[in-house]
C-alpha cells in the first residue's frame, strides 16, 4: 500500500504538468523579409557538336573544344572557369537511311562575372559547331551574408507582429516555444535558353544589350510560436 501511494502521486503530478502545458497562452506568427540584389556570378551553358566541313572531312569535338578554350582565354578568363558538363553522341545517316558516321557533342559550363563576358565570347565561337547556349544560373557572391541578414530581419518582423497582437489583448510575449524557417527563395535563378540553330547571328544579337541585368528578389519566412504572459 505504501508503494501504491507514491506511484499515484507521481501520476497526479504528471497529469497536472501536462494540463499546465496545454493551458499555456501562446501565439504563432510568421515573419517575412525580402531584398533585391544584383547578380555577380553566372553559369553559362555552351553546347558544341562535331560537323562535316565537306562530305568526308569532319571537324572533331577536340578541335572545337580547343577553339572554345582559346576564345575563353582571349576574353580574359581562365581555362579553369570552363568545365565539361555532359558528353553525348548521335549517328549521321546517309541517303539510304544507313548510319554512316557518329557525331559527338559536349556541353560545357562557363563561370563568368558579367554578361559582357558572354557578349564578347559568342562571336569568337564556331557558328556551325555551336548548337545551343543558355544562361543556367545567376546568383550573388555574398550569398551567406545575405541569408544571415534576411534571417535576422524575418525574426525581428515576427517579434514585432507578436508584440502588436499581444498588446492588443493586454498581454506581453514571453519565451520562444517553437521556431521553424523555410527555404530561401529566388537566390539561384535560371534564365531562358537560346537556340542558335536557326540563325546564329540573331542569337548573338539577343545577348548584345546595355540594359542592366535583372535584380534577384530573395525572400525568407520564419514561423515562431511565442509564449504570452
3-state SS assignment for residue 191:
coil
Flag whether pLDDT at 154 surpasses 60: yes
pTM of the model: 0.63
Among the listed ranges 25-29, 81-85, 180-184, 219-223, which one has the minimum average pLDDT value? 180-184
Mean pLDDT, rounded, for 98-116: 85
pLDDT of residue 108: 96
Q: Which CATH architecture has domain 25-39+140-189+214-229?
A: 2-Layer Sandwich (3.30)
- Give residue limits of the domains in the chain: 25-39+140-189+214-229, 41-138
Q: How far is CA 172 from CA 35, 38, 223, in A?
A: 30, 40, 18
Grid cell listed for 52: 562535316
Mean pLDDT of the residues in the chain: 78
Q: Which CATH number fits domain 41-138: 1.10.1660, 2.60.40, 3.30.70, 1.10.8?
A: 3.30.70
pLDDT of residue 6: 47
Flag whether pLDDT at 188 surpasses 70: no
Q: How far is CA 175 from CA 27, 160, 172, 225, in A?
A: 11, 14, 10, 9
Mean pLDDT, rounded, for 120-147: 88
What's the rounded Cα separation, in Å, for the pair 210 and 193?
20
pLDDT of residue 85: 93
Amino acid at each position: 500500500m505504501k508503494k501504491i501511494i507514491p506511484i499515484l502521486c507521481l501520476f497526479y503530478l504528471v497529469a497536472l504538468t501536462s494540463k499546465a502545458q496545454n493551458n499555456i497562452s501562446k501565439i504563432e506568427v510568421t515573419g517575412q523579409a525580402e531584398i533585391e540584389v544584383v547578380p555577380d556570378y553566372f553559369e553559362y551553358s555552351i553546347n558544341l557538336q562535331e560537323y562535316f566541313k565537306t562530305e568526308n572531312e569532319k571537324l572533331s569535338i577536340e578541335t572545337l573544344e580547343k577553339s572554345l578554350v582559346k576564345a575563353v582565354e582571349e576574353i580574359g578568363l581562365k581555362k579553369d572557369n570552363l568545365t565539361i558538363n555532359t558528353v553525348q553522341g548521335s549517328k549521321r545517316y546517309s541517303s539510304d537511311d544507313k548510319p554512316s558516321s557518329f557525331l559527338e557533342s559536349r556541353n560545357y559550363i562557363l563561370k563568368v562575372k558579367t554578361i559582357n563576358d558572354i557578349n564578347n565570347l559568342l562571336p569568337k565561337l564556331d557558328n556551325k559547331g555551336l548548337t545551343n547556349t543558355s544562361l543556367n544560373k545567376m546568383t550573388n557572391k555574398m550569398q551567406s551574408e545575405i541569408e544571415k541578414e534576411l534571417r535576422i530581419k524575418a525574426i525581428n518582423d515576427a517579434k514585432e507582429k507578436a508584440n502588436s497582437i499581444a498588446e492588443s489583448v493586454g498581454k506581453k510575449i514571453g519565451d520562444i516555444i517553437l521556431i521553424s524557417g523555410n527555404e530561401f527563395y529566388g537566390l539561384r535563378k535560371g534564365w531562358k535558353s537560346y537556340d542558335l540553330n536557326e540563325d546564329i547571328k540573331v542569337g548573338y544579337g539577343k545577348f548584345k544589350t546595355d540594359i542592366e541585368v535583372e535584380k534577384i528578389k530573395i525572400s525568407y519566412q520564419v514561423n515562431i510560436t511565442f509564449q504570452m504572459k
